[in-house]
Amino acid sequence: MPITRFVWTDHTILRLAYRRLERSDVEEAIRTSHDERRVNEGEADWLVQGMTPLGVWIEAIYDHPVGGDETTVRIVSAWRIDNY
């Protein structure tokens, strides 16, 4: 079942501008890398890596499913990987 809904934490929304990231880039990284996700050992269930259209590598941590809904993820944080 494809991911169609993204719930953003306040933390993530505040950090996006500071980290020079677009919501669409983080959402696309999660959509395209979800099948290769890894278990996250911190505040969220999963960790993925992806590349933005400008060639910037990013990581995102998120919960999935949310409330039993397989189509929804809750994005906990995202950041650039500067030394990839």
SS (H, E, C) the chain: CCCCEEEECHHHHHHHHHCCCCHHHHHHHHHHHHHHCEECCCCCCEEEEEECCCCCEEEEEEECCECCECCEEEEEEEEECCCC
Segment 41-58 mean pLDDT: 95
Q: Where are the domains of the chain?
A: 5-80
> What are the pLDDT digits (tens) for 2-30?
999 999 999 999 999 999 999 999 999 99
Q: What is the pTM of this model?
A: 0.93
Tell me which of 1.10.3470, 3.30.2310, 1.10.390, 3.30.450 is the CATH number of domain 5-80: 3.30.2310
